[in-house]
Amino acid sequence: MTLLAIALPAILILFVAASVAVGYRQYWPAAIWNAIFAFDGSESAVVITTLRIPRALLAPLVGAALGVAGVLTQTLARNRIASPDTLGINAGAALAVVASSVWLGIGSIAGMSVAAISGALATSLLVFGVAATSGGFSPIRIVLVGVTVGGLAFSIVQIILTTNEAQLKELLFWLTGSFADRPIAFAIGGAPVVMAGLAAAWMLAQPLDALQADDTTAANLGVPLAVVRWAGFLTVSLLTGAGVCMAGPVGFVGFVVPHLARWLVGLSHRRLILTSALIGAIYTTAADILARFIIYPTEAPVGAITSTVGGITLLILLKRRAA
């Protein structure tokens, strides 16, 4: 764990620096330093400060948020294939943002954040509520309900976009998940929400450890089940909503990251939450760098990269379970 505590932050710093330096054009450290501390209005200085730095900050923020949201979702659902994606929470947040943007004209960061968090919370409550009234918190039932709700939410998004062609192009690019062309205000506005969500997740770590067993065992250990679940739903909604607001629904980060973290540090949620935040930040930053080169000179949406990795991982896990 001590080695990880040193290695993961060091790797994250390396990738963040690489995110600022590499892309369609490469910038040496001297150019980056001058752009930040001796801005002269040159093309390179403008690109670095208005394009590269914002996405280098957004990527780790979103990755940390979705990685920890994935840990909480898998524990609350008691299902290792649960995530904000497979439970439809990402889709619900995206639907809320699209609907509020198209129908209410909301375009501010604060307004979009409220919409995304509200949509994520409503979706999580709907999924767990339907699953609970259909025979209890069955891990398989929760995922089935989540996939259904997520599919329904994305169908409604498509209907909204089809009937509003003026905003179709802009919102379609956002729905693929991307850190490109986002103003730094998104990172500044989203960071406090992510920090609040991470702090809440940290405080829930001990009861979540007990919740990994069945409800009877957790209750016997003194865990207030209803309070922990409500707090968990709200925390997942904060983290997922913030991530969706900042970058769109970047797929399967909350699915892949917890598996990597669990493999490295085991089942303790204090270690899982910290490790998932770091791995999530590294993962999305690395995916963002890869997205710049995989179909060079055109840039791929980072959500396509993470969804591809997540889809392959899901298939492998399902095959292992079936074996």
pLDDT tens for the chain, 323 residues: list them.
678 889 999 999 999 999 999 988 999 999 999 999 988 888 899 999 999 999 999 999 999 999 999 999 999 988 888 999 999 999 999 999 999 988 888 877 788 889 999 999 999 989 988 887 766 667 788 888 999 999 999 999 988 888 876 666 667 777 778 898 888 999 999 999 999 999 999 999 999 999 888 888 888 888 898 899 889 989 999 999 999 999 988 989 999 999 999 999 999 999 999 999 999 999 999 999 999 999 888 888 898 899 999 989 888 887 776 54
Whole-number pLDDT of residue 137: 66
Single-letter residue type at 58:
L
Q: How far apart are CA 226 and CA 174, in angstroms?
A: 35
Whole-number pLDDT of residue 106: 83
What pTM did the predictor assign?
0.93
Whole-number pLDDT of residue 143: 87
| Largest interatomic CA distance in the chain | 65
Whole-number pLDDT of residue 252: 93
Phi, psi values for residue 135, rounded to 5°: 125, 20
**Domains observed in the chain:** 2-322 (1.10.3470.10)
Whole-number pLDDT of residue 118: 93
- HEC string of the chain? CHHHHHHHHHHHHHHHHHHHHCCCCCCCHHHHHHHHHCCCCCHHHHHHHHHHHHHHHHHHHHHHHHHHHHHHHHHHHCCCCCCCCCCCHHHHHHHHHHHHHHHHCCCCHHHHHHHHHHHHHHHHHHHHHHHHHCCCCCHHHHHHHHHHHHHHHHHHHHHHHHCCHHHHHHHHHHHCCCCCCCCHHHHHHHHHHHHHHHHHHHHCHHHHHHHCCCHHHHHHCCCCHHHHHHHHHHHHHHHHHHHHHHHCCCCCHHHHHHHHHHHHHCCCHHHHHHHHHHHHHHHHHHHHHHHCCCECCECCCHHHHHHHHHHHHHHHHHHHHHC
Q: How far apart are CA 288 and CA 62, in angstroms?
A: 11
Place of tokens 């004209």: 105
* CA atoms within 13 A of residue 270's CA, in its CB half-sphere: 4
Residue 249 tokens read as: 């629904």
Q: How far apart are CA 300 and CA 317, in angstroms?
A: 26
Residue 99 exposed, middle or buried by CB count within 10 Å (0-12, 13-18, 19+): middle
Provide the 10 A C-beta neighbour count for residue 111.
16
Q: How far apart are CA 208 and CA 98, in angstroms?
A: 33
Whole-number pLDDT of residue 321: 67
